Amino acid sequence: MRTRLLATSLLSATLALLFTGCMETAPRAADASPAPAPAAAEKSAAPTFGNPSPTAGSSTSAKANAAADAAAYKAVEYKNVGKKGPALVVIPGEIKSNNANFTQRILPNNIADFGELELSQANFTVLERADLGNLLDEITLAYNLGNVAKARKTMQAGKLKTTKWVVKFDILKAEQIASNTKGFDGQAIGGLISSLSGTRAGNATGQVVGSVKTDDATGVWLIGMRYKIMNANTTAQVAQGYKELKMEVGATRTSVLGISESAKGGVGLDTMVQRLVQTAVWEIDSKYK
């Protein structure tokens, strides 16, 4: 009897262990509750770029970057930007200056590109020249010559039918009108101090003074731009204006006991042309929109 009870107990225990093992190894049903939604991706910030220059963070870097910041592009807050401007086409203007430095650097298409950019920023409807293809040459010729029949014919094609204005920007003046230089060379004074002192200290002072050299040079340009607005259908002049800006470039150099420091900079010709275009577009936006 005891043997039977023992056997029954062992059998029950074995079955219980087997049942438990089956429950643990059996696959579980998937959780029916919805998975948490992935966190929304953060909006990317404006791109930033490193500075690989070996002088980054130095005093020379700080001064050069400060000068570059002063010359960097700055968007203009146009007065009537909230009002939609008429449809227009910007054609390449003329560069009437004979200054070789200017004509080698600036081309009419560069000026027209700046014009398209700024007029778009001022909320004018600008038909880009790139979309016109070979038709651009015909348009430019027609409006430069005031050929009404040719202008009307070209303006009947596609998108040009809605064009109200043809705008161009001409450079009438680009010349360096002033320059100034100033310098100091301590060699003569240093030699005089050394010869008159007759002492070791005086001779050392003379050598220091003699090593001092400074040079400053400044040049000033005047650049003048005319803008002209023409009626797209009649080639008649709607408005025109003239803007002139001053550009300064300079260089400075100092040397003492073989330790030298120099700087050179100013606003470039490209920047000056863009600023002139911005000034002209501001007037077009405020007066004629």
Q: Report the alpha-carbon distance of residue 39 to residue 91 in Å, rounded.
A: 51
Going residue by residue through the chain (289 aa), what tens digit of pLDDT does each one get? 444 443 445 445 444 444 444 444 444 444 445 555 555 546 678 888 888 888 888 888 888 888 888 888 899 999 999 999 999 999 999 999 888 888 888 999 999 999 999 999 999 999 888 777 777 888 888 888 778 888 777 777 667 888 999 999 999 999 888 778 877 776 766 666 666 666 766 666 666 666 777 878 788 889 999 999 999 988 899 999 999 999 887 777 787 776 777 766 677 889 999 999 999 999 999 999 8
Under 8 Å CB-to-CB from 259, ≥6 apart: which residues? none
Under 8 Å CB-to-CB from 200, ≥6 apart: which residues? none
- The ranges assigned to domains in the chain are 76-288
Question: How far is the CA of 95 from the CAs of 100, 136, 150, 226, in angstroms?
Answer: 11, 18, 24, 10
Q: Report the alpha-carbon distance of residue 230 to residue 164 in Å, rounded.
A: 9
Nearest to 158 by CA among 224, 225, 213, 87: 87
Q: Please state whether 146 falls in left (phi above 0), alpha (psi between -120 and 50) or beta.
A: left
Q: Report the alpha-carbon distance of residue 238 to residue 229 in Å, rounded.
A: 5
pLDDT in the model for residue 15: 40
- CATH of 76-288, picked from 3.90.580.10, 2.40.100.10, 3.40.640.10, 3.40.50.10610, is 3.40.50.10610
pLDDT in the model for residue 75: 93
pLDDT in the model for residue 138: 84
Q: What is the pTM of this model?
A: 0.71
pLDDT in the model for residue 194: 65
pLDDT in the model for residue 10: 40
Determine the angle formed by the axes of helices 269-288 and 108-121, rounding to 10 degrees: 40
**One-letter amino acid for residue 239 of the chain:** A
Q: Report the alpha-carbon distance of residue 72 to residue 66 in Å, rounded.
A: 10
pLDDT in the model for residue 20: 45
